[in-house]
Structure 1
């Protein structure tokens, strides 16, 4: 436990210079409150929280790290996202692959600059395909590895405005 705490503290200090916070593989079950304090005046560009056991995101993530352009939350245990995620107004790339989502959260389609969404290897069987073109800047959605039903796949393959990777 002490080793993980030390690793998180060290990576927060490194982020002050690089503007990239990499807390991947830190055995996190939640996002420590302390990182918001340690990095309160740092305008991060990227945040990597992949390969942890995070089940829930705090609303603070969006408000305190509103400058990020890339967010990697892959390989966690997420099932829901807070509506506040749309406050990540500069985010162009979001990786939510390999979590436990059963549906595509509506908030993802309200993020104004998001171009690429990796939603692969979740538990999605069906999507409201009419909503997929609502993302104002959305160019690519990766859905590889989801157990999508055949009817949904047929509809997804006919979508032209957004590149769908099955």
Structure 2
């Protein structure tokens, strides 16, 4: 436990210099309050919270880190994001892969969001009309989700941005994952 705390503290200190907060693979169940305290006067442009056990992103995270351009949340236990993600006006890249989302979260109003990766979730629905109105969106990856056939067809017909649907290429995956 002490090692994990020390690792997080070192990464928080590094974020002050690099403007990149990397808390990936820290076995976090939630975002520690120390993140807000230690980085209260710092600007963070990129944040990696991947490969933890986080179930919820608090609204204060989106409020504190409004300058984020990239947010990596893959490999957690998330099923939703706070409404305040709409206020992250600089966000360009969002990765929510390998979580428990059943629908795409409320990021449609992020004006610069260009890349959304949401592979390996349980997504069966999304707000298709709002998605189509995202002027900055360039790439949407929904591979390995149980999307209904009708929705897949709608997504295939989009020509404003690149959409990846269906099963991902198994090359590089562990053999037991493919079987």
Under TM normalisation by the shorter chain, which class is it? Answer: over 0.9
Cα separation, 2, equivalents of 1:90 and 1:118: 17
1:21-36 equivalences under 5 Å are 21-36=21-36
Write out aligned runs for 1:8-87 (5 A). 8-87=8-87
Aligned to 1:147: 146
User: Equivalent residue for 1:127?
Assistant: 126
1:45-92 Cα shifts (integer Å, max 9, x gaps): 100000001110111111111111100001100001110011111110
Cα contact 1:108–1:135 (8 A) shared by 2: no
Query: In structure 1, what is the Cα distance between the partners aligned to 2:71 and 2:14?
Result: 17
SS at the partner of 2:103?
coil
Q: Who is 1:88 aligned against?
A: 88
1:153 deviates by 1.2
How many residues end up aligned between the 2 structures?
A: 165
What's the offset of the Cα at 1:131? Answer: 2.4
Q: How big is the shift at 1:3?
A: 1.1
Once the 2 structures are TM-superposed, how far is the Cα of residue 4 of structure 1 from its aligned partner?
Answer: 0.9
- How far apart, CA to CA, are the structure 1 residues paired with 2:20 and 2:153? 39
RMSD: 1.1
Deviation by residue 1:28-55 (Cα, 9 ceiling, x = unmatched): 0000011111001111110000000111
1:109 touches 1:136 (CA, 8 Å); kept in 2?
no
5+ residue gaps, structure 1, are: none
Give the C-alpha shift of residue 145 in structure 1.
0.9
Task: Tell whether the 8 Å contact from 1:56 to 1:81 is kept in structure 2 after alignment.
Answer: yes
User: Do 2:104 and 2:125's aligned partners in 1 also have CA atoms closer than 8 Å?
Assistant: no
Tell me, in whole angstroms, the C-alpha distance in 1 between the residues paired with 2:128 and 2:65: 30
Unaligned stretches of 5+ residues in structure 2: 166-179
Which deviates further from its counterpart, 69-78 or 121-130? Answer: 121-130
User: Matched residue of 1:9: which SS?
Assistant: helix
Equivalent position of 2:157 in the other structure: 158
TM-score, normalising length: structure 2: 0.88
